[in-house]
Amino acid sequence: MTSSLTPITMQSALTKLIGSEHLSREEARSVMDIIMSGEATPVQIAGVVTALRMKGETKDEITGFAQAMRAHSSHVQTEQEGLLDTCGTGGSGIHKFNISTSSAIIAAAAGIRVAKHGNRAMSGKAGSADVLEALGVQITLTPEQAEECLKQVGICFMFAQLYHPSLRHASVPRKELGIRTIFNMLGPLTNPAGADRQLIGLYDAKKTDTVASVLGELGVKRAMVVSSNDGLDEISISAATRVSELLNGEVRTYEITPEELGLTRYPISEVLGGDPAANASIIRGIFSGEQRGAYRDIVLANAGACIYVGGAAASLTDGVKIAADMIDSGLAEQKLLGLIQTTGELTHVFG
């Protein structure tokens, strides 16, 4: 046993975990501090995160890891109130197009300030960084450039690799393990701008309420953590979706269906994507109005949730209607073009 007076080590943490004992929040934070500081070996990191996964991560363990990762991150200095992020965990194993990225742009068109956190693909073919790059957005903004972009356009993108350099210490074990671990959950929990509104798609439906509770512990005011019955880390239009909603410090879990949102049900095969160029083409088609059907509807479902969580709609169905208006009016397309232009100008001026 590790007493409260004895600092935890990677070895003592591993001993507790393989004995099915939980780490306290402080212990979890200390373990992540050791990892982020480069003091843990790849074998120790792999052992701890695998043991955590097998035991099942608790709210305190996830919160402690996230707090430590936030402490080691670069930050964008901006007003956090009403700021939205749509970063999800990925890891669904289904190669869909970039739904949360599309939704973030539509939410920004609806007047919600958006600080989108994301990375290159881990499990799919195109992560948010990949598809934004293919759309012409400059993704390697510094914190100062991201802050200015947010001021000018109402949306910025924060490339995770640049804001969490200490994660490099865990990159080898993560890659070699090839399984989902606590690290998959940490991206959405460590927004560099401190967004206090979030829509998080989660690969594991059993953990939606836990992650929603963690968000509350981290100071997030409103959030929806979603995981669909057909395995998407998004709100699905092919099946019901489990939602854990954080509001006023309380977490409420329920299910929603496409029909309840006023949308048509489609086979999941109709929302699959491809490489970054193919996904960029799908997004352009949705925003121009040429791409309708399943691609449009799944974006409406998720953008509607963003608009609801962001406080610009009284209900999910109202959010879906506003999202449709943002596309049909051309405002979503204008917001994307503004993001492309502004990131180009900022990297030229500041670069």
Is 233 marked as binding a ligand?
yes
pLDDT value of residue 93: 74
User: What pTM was estimated for this model as a whole?
Assistant: 0.95
Is 184 marked as binding a ligand?
no
Residues above pLDDT 70, as percent of the chain: 96
pLDDT at 351 over 80: no
- Give mean pLDDT, residues 48-68: 98
Is 180 marked as binding a ligand?
no
Is 128 marked as binding a ligand?
yes
Is 122 marked as binding a ligand?
yes
pLDDT value of residue 57: 97
Are 235 and 249 spatial neighbours (Cβ–Cβ below 8 Å)? no
Tell me the per-residue pLDDT of 136-187, one tens digit each, with 9 for 90 and over: 999 999 999 999 999 999 999 999 999 999 999 999 998 899 888 999 999 9
Q: Give the residue among 282, 275, 327 at the shortest CA–CA distance from 300.
A: 327
DSSP three-state, residue 184 = helix
Are 106 and 299 spatial neighbours (Cβ–Cβ below 8 Å)? yes
Is 154 marked as binding a ligand?
no
Domains and CATH numbers, the chain: 10-71 (1.20.970.10), 84-338 (3.40.1030.10)
Is 253 marked as binding a ligand?
no
Tell me the per-residue pLDDT of 82-125, one tens digit each, with 9 for 90 and over: 999 999 887 667 888 999 999 999 999 999 999 999 998 865 67
Is 283 marked as binding a ligand?
no
- Give mean pLDDT, residues 256-268: 98
Tell me the per-residue pLDDT of 7-28, one tens digit each, with 9 for 90 and over: 999 999 999 999 999 999 999 9
Q: In this structure, what are the phi and psi dihedrals at residue 282, rounded to the nearest 5 degrees?
A: -60, -45
Is 305 marked as binding a ligand?
no
pLDDT value of residue 331: 99
Least confident interval from 31-40, 66-75, 113-122, 324-333: 113-122
Q: Which residues make Cβ contacts (< 8 Å) with residue 345, sequence separation at least 6?
A: none
For 57, the token pair is 């991560």
pLDDT value of residue 1: 46
Is 55 marked as binding a ligand?
no
121 or 37: which leads in pLDDT = 37
Arithmetic mean of pLDDT over the chain: 95
pLDDT value of residue 123: 58
Is 130 marked as binding a ligand?
no
Is 119 marked as binding a ligand?
yes
